[in-house]
Amino acid sequence: MRDRGYFLVFVIAVFLQILANNFLHLPSYLIICILPTLICLAPLRIRTPFLLIIAFITAFATDFLSSGILGLTAVSLLPVAFCRDFFYKLFIGKESFVRQDELSSKKHGFFRVSALLIPSLLIYFLIFVLADAAGTQPLLFNGLRLLCSTVSSFLLSILLVKVIAP
């Protein structure tokens, strides 16, 4: 997918995320977030410093336009942007990274793309859940919340992969 197409999907997905945050009332142990997936699927031409800025602005806008705590999404999303290149080299391959291949579930395989997404989602939700609980929730609740949120967001991310990186 060309960069323009990616950015179009990106804007729509962020808009949908804001809508979901405001109007979708989910149980307290479930969080749906596709922002880490969007960051992971960003074209490799976007280098880490720019990706960090994009992640920060996106997270700030999401928190500002949602009823959430300002800064919570940014705190969780920045490590995902910072680790994106590392995870890409680790799970998709160094050669592919050097060639700046477009990520494709058909070309690179579904499992490799999943391997890229799952650690990113785990990092995001681990920080999000811990920062949101702020030491007031028991470990079991936090663990369950992390697991449910990662699984559900991963399932949703698969749909996004089909659109951005078919």
Closest CB to other proteins among residues 42, 52: 52
Binding flag, residue 138, other proteins (CB under 8 A): no
Binding flag, residue 49, other proteins (CB under 8 A): yes
Q: Which residues, at least 6 apart from 110, have a Cβ–Cβ distance to it below 8 Å?
A: none
Which of 11, 16, 53, 155 touches other proteins (CB under 8 A)? 53
Structure tokens at 6: 């990616």
Which of 25, 136, 138, 140 touches other proteins (CB under 8 A)? 136
Region near other proteins per CB under 8 A, out of 8-16, 114-122, 128-136, 146-154: 128-136
Which of 16, 19, 30, 70 touches other proteins (CB under 8 A)? 70
Q: Is 129 exposed, middle or buried (0-12, 13-18, 19+ CB in 10 A)?
A: buried
CA 20 – CA 18 distance, rounded (Å) = 5
Which of 2, 23, 135, 140 touches other proteins (CB under 8 A)? 135
Region near other proteins per CB under 8 A, out of 7-15, 33-41, 64-72, 149-157: 64-72
Q: Which residues, at least 6 apart from 58, have a Cβ–Cβ distance to it below 8 Å?
A: 14, 35, 38, 77
Distance of CA 77 to the CA centre of its chain: 7
CA 83 – CA 69 distance, rounded (Å) = 24
Binding stretches for other proteins (CB under 8 A): 47-49, 52-53, 56, 59-60, 69-72, 74-75, 78-79, 81-82, 131, 134-136
